[in-house]
Amino acid sequence: MKEHFESRIASADPIESCAPHKKKTTKRNKRQTKEKTNESVDTPRKSAVNTLNSKELGALGENLACCFLERQDFEILDRNWKCADGEVDIIASKGDETVFVEVKTRLQNKSGELFPEIAVDKQKQSRYIALARSYNTAYPMCENIRFDVIALAILDDSHAQLRHIQSAFEWDGLYE
């Protein structure tokens, strides 16, 4: 990983703001919610994110990453694009750049801050370069390609910490 990457941290960003379908709140729902909240003050509620399996956690992370990218004026071209070389989490564009995004999502634990981006090792980087070549063969595009990593630490049911690592690793182009 580059040590001098540009990083954006969105700390305590509400997860709910990216939920695709938000339940409409009515007066009755508010009253029931208020009653439930008052009833459960003494009994801690089990966190819903803690019940997610790894596939569901990954899907949540990818949804949040897409919301973040769209807010940063990226256009999402493809999600979970697959070929013989593997799968790309997100392919997006901004300006004249096509950006291949690897999303790494982890649950925050009590032992300290997690760095999900560490999981993007040399092998994963090589795979993404091969995927970029395959994508370019299937969908010819400009050679201005960048590889980003979005690292998400899910803090609780409604908050996550996001790091957007732009140009997370280098490559020599499509035809090296």
* Structural contact between residues 151 and 108, judged by C-beta atoms closer than 8 angstroms: no
Distance CA 66, CA 111 (A): 28
Quickly name the fold that domain 47-169 has: Trna Endonuclease; Chain: A, domain 1 (3.40.1350)
CA atoms in the 13 A half-sphere facing the CB of 72: 18
In terms of Cβ atoms closer than 10 Å to its own Cβ (0-12, 13-18, 19+), residue 35 is exposed
**CA of 131: how far to CAs of 3, 137, 145, 167, in Å?**
24, 10, 12, 16
Contact 114, 160 (CB under 8 A): no
What pLDDT tens digit does each residue of the chain (176 aa) get?
Answer: 333 333 333 433 445 445 443 334 444 444 444 443 333 333 344 568 888 888 999 999 999 999 999 999 999 999 999 999 999 999 999 999 999 999 988 887 654 556 666 666 788 888 888 898 899 888 887 668 899 999 888 888 888 889 999 988 877 765 55
* Residue position matching structure tokens 């990453």: 65
Phi-psi region for residue 73, left (φ > 0), alpha (ψ -120 to 50) or beta? left
